[in-house]
Amino acid sequence: MTTKPKIEDALREAILSRPDVILDDKDVMNALVAANEKAMGANIVDMRGIAMERLEARLDRLEDTHRSVIAAAYENLAGTNQVHRAILRMLDPVEFESFVQDLGGEVAEILRVDMVRLVLETDQADTVPGLERLGDVLSLAEPGFIAGYIAQGRGGGTRQVTLRQVQGDPGGIYGDKADWIRSEACLKLDFGPGRLPGMLVLAAEDPHMFGPQQGSDLLIFFAGVFERIMRRWLS
């Protein structure tokens, strides 16, 4: 005749005094459920055990979803803070030259992009004085260039924000830095009636920085604010 080992008194008293500790420990509960199933034998179907397994699997999925939602919320909050800081920085300059230089400097750093390009369409590119002082951030283009650059041979209209991976520089806006640009966000700008459009390009060496599967709400807001700031300078 065999006897089952008796649990130690100290351990038994600890469990009875703090049963919630056992219930909160997933590994211990799994071991107890497994021991119970083994004691019942292989010919008995434990419906409660099956239900518990399904509930545990569902709980695991809910926890994964919960973590994903929290991570996305933090990412959106961080992106919102970046855009707000960049907008505040763009409102600081009192001269257009400083405004353009900041785009390639502090604004680019705040947005964590490697390059910023502002493209303006004009019929009089050769008659704009002082263009060389603005560095390589600002470039002038012929009418129709922006729509062609954003579409890149594809038909249909152009969205306000286009996110994509790139290789090469078909529009010639990156100059000698084109070899390491791998993704870009093209923000089409409307400066109001009677004015040709513009385009703000945020470029990155990381090919995954911008892609068509990403949301564009923050960049649409950023483009809207940028349009209004530019209208002030153009008026």
Whether 155 shows a pLDDT value over 80: the answer reads no
pLDDT at position 200: 95
For range 225-234, the mean pLDDT: 91
pLDDT tens digits, residue range 169-209? 777 888 888 888 999 999 999 998 889 999 999 999 999 99
DSSP state of 95: S
pLDDT at position 107: 93
Whether 231 shows a pLDDT value over 60: the answer reads yes
Which has more confidence, 204 or 62? 204
Mean of the per-residue pLDDT values of the chain: 80
User: Exposed, middle or buried: residue 42 (CB in 10 Å: 0-12, 13-18, 19+)?
Assistant: exposed
For range 153-177, the mean pLDDT: 80
Could you tell me whether strands 183-189 and 161-165 are parallel, antiparallel, or unpaired per DSSP bridges? antiparallel
Whether 80 shows a pLDDT value over 70: the answer reads yes
Cα gap 221→104, rounded to integer Å: 20
Right CATH number for 94-234 from 3.30.300.30, 3.20.10.10, 3.30.450.40, 3.40.50.2020? 3.30.450.40
pLDDT at position 133: 57
For range 103-125, the mean pLDDT: 89
Record the tokens describing residue 130, joined without a space.
């002082």
pLDDT band at 1 (very low <50, low <70, confident <90, very high): very low
Cα gap 36→47, rounded to integer Å: 13
Given its phi and psi angles, is residue 83 left (phi above 0), alpha (psi -120 to 50 degrees) or beta?
alpha
For range 149-158, the mean pLDDT: 74
Whether 126 shows a pLDDT value over 60: the answer reads no
Residue ranges of alpha helices (H) inside 91-126 are: 96-102, 108-111
pLDDT at position 175: 82
Direct distance between the N- and C-terminal alpha carbons of the chain, in angstroms, rounded to an integer: 101
pLDDT at position 153: 65
Which has more confidence, 75 or 189? 189
